[in-house]
Amino acid sequence: MGLVPQELHDRLARFHKQMYIIFKKKKAKPNLLPFQRKILSWLRKHPDWIIANTDKNLRPCCIEYTRYIEYCLKHLCNDKLYTIISKAEARTEANRLWSEIMEWTVEGRKKNALTDMDVKYICKHANENFLDPHGYFYGMFKVHKKTLSTRPVCSDCASITNPVGQWVDIMLQPIMQKMPTYFKDSFAFKELVSDLVVPIGGRLFTADAVQMYSYIDTDAALAVICPYLRSMEKEFGHYHAPTLIRALEIVMKNNIMKFGDIYVKQESGTATGKPPAPGWATIFEGLH
């Protein structure tokens, strides 16, 4: 590689000089109200309080650090859904997952189920995420409920299985949208019911599936979804059923999360926070 031409250095110097002229440092007037600045100052001095997320996009909330931990541990101590494992066991699981993902990409490419770009993207990000391979557990507070509770969520964006999960999500989207129970969002639902005429004596009611994601048994869901994927492979035509099913198993049966200094493996239930989780749950409920 040759030396950088002097002309390039000169142009960069002139560019930086003009930028410094245009963008001068100056003290800006804050746009926060006095009470907001006072709250921020108070939070800096009280690390025993933290800012947490809320469900339904209802903005952040503030809660005592110890109470936040207690709410999260209520979920993680449910031995029907989660198992606490050691750091060494978590690392062993990561090594196994990396090998399974690499093997899956090779087989998928041989069967033309994965493109070269798919393999390149999945391998690149799986390798990048290998140093810190697992998701992070956190709780979202349901402040819209009368009794305060939390939704368990896994921050999965940098886990070793995330790139496979993104591919699975793309494959499941067309299938999910064909389910009779599917609608895009609350606006689409409003359009569905806007012309509904309730007869005299009729009643409208709503129902809520409490912790639906957590209690969709993983093996039961696979037993329903996998045969459907095989039977509909030719009709949809955009996926290879064995490759997609294997990817589902890798992603949904290997949800390992870190919370503070503990590692937890989800034994059953939808891996909330994984990219294909909404599609997985919608297809399962739609088939029922």
Could you report the per-residue pLDDT of 22-73, keeping only the tens digit for each? 887 788 888 999 999 999 999 999 999 999 999 988 989 999 999 999 999 9
Please give the pLDDT value at position 195.
85
Would you say 81 and 63 are in contact if contact means Cβ atoms under 8 Å apart?
Answer: no
pLDDT tops 80 at residue 209: no
* pLDDT for 1 beyond 60: no
Angle between helices 87-110 and 241-252 in degrees, nearest 10:
170
pLDDT higher than threshold 50 for residue 243: yes
Distance of alpha carbon 231 from alpha carbon 247, whole angstroms: 17
Q: Report pLDDT for 193.
A: 85
- The predicted model scores a pTM of 0.82
Q: For residue 212, is pLDDT > 80?
A: no
Whether 208 shows a pLDDT value over 80: the answer reads no
- The burial class, CB within 10 Å (0-12 / 13-18 / 19+), for 78 is middle
Whether 253 and 130 have beta carbons less than 8 Å apart is answered as no
Strand order in the sheet with 150-155: 82-85, 262-266, 256-259, 135-141, 150-155
For 146, 178, 183, 192, the CA distances from 196, given in Å and listed in that order, are 30, 22, 16, 8
Mean pLDDT of 178-206: 87
Count of beta carbons in the 10 Å neighbourhood of residue 170: 15
Cα 184 → chain centroid: 18
What pLDDT does 2 receive? 56
